[in-house]
Amino acid sequence: CKSLPKTLLFQLLGLSIATLSTVTHYGLPFTLISDISLDGNSYRVIHYRAFYFGICLSMTLILAALLSSAATLRESQCLTSMGFFCFALAFCGLIPAACWRYTHSTEVEDSMMDVYDFVYEEVRRNTSSFRRHELTDIHKAFLCCGKHSPFGDTANVEQKTCPPGQAYDAGQDCLREIQDFLKKHMDFVFLLLGIAIGFTVYGMILTSFLWFSIHFSSNLDRKGKYILR
């Protein structure tokens, strides 16, 4: 009974990671940039890899919680070992993910802003209705309007692509808005990764303690018993 709240915590953590991965993958701002990005841009690759990593991680944590709960009820060393393996597997995936987030903190932001720069300059250089529609969608998704351009002549672009009631002079530079939006999102992802690392370490310690408890308890039960042959 005591392991039930802990199991629910691990399952809740796994569901939280799965929910965040789904929102990141299917959220309008992310899917919009992913669809627009070119083959040479790294954002689309990061977009899909992050989703599959999050789903696999959440399934691993949920499976580890279920195995640990079943091992406690049945006092099974095999199930305990499998639970420990799942926690260790999740830990081995979380550490590189956290390191990548720390060492490549601006790669995702730069790739998203590169997409916006490309679309914006394409619209500024010509009147392609396709690119203008994409730029309008970006402005609506991020609730921003235009950007600082060293080439000038941006009023015409912003007039055609900004949502009604929004103007560039309100200070809603899209590059800044994209950067702020993604920074908040990535900070939340990093926080969740830190929590998940702490819980996986706790899970490995817990399953190790459970394995040794079952092992020694089993050996003690056999002492003083005789087998007739």
Q: Give CA–CA dist 189/150, Å, rounded.
A: 34
Lookup: tokens for 118: 């490309």
Burial class of residue 39, CB neighbours in 10 A (0-12, 13-18, 19+): exposed
Residue position matching structure tokens 């790669």: 107
Question: In this structure, what token pair is assigned to residue 61?
Answer: 């944590």
Q: Say what the pTM is.
A: 0.82
* pLDDT in the model for residue 106: 83
pLDDT in tens, the chain (229 residues): 445 556 788 889 999 999 999 999 999 999 999 999 887 788 999 999 999 999 999 999 999 999 888 888 887 888 889 999 999 999 999 999 989 888 887 888 899 999 998 998 888 887 667 888 999 999 889 888 888 765 555 566 777 778 776 655 444 688 899 999 999 999 999 999 999 999 999 999 988 888 888 877 755 444 444 444 4
CA distance 52 to 22: 9
Q: How far apart are CA 192 and CA 168, in angstroms?
A: 35
Residue 140 has which token pair? 């609506």
Count of beta carbons in the 10 Å neighbourhood of residue 94 = 23
Residue spans of the domains in the chain: they are 3-227
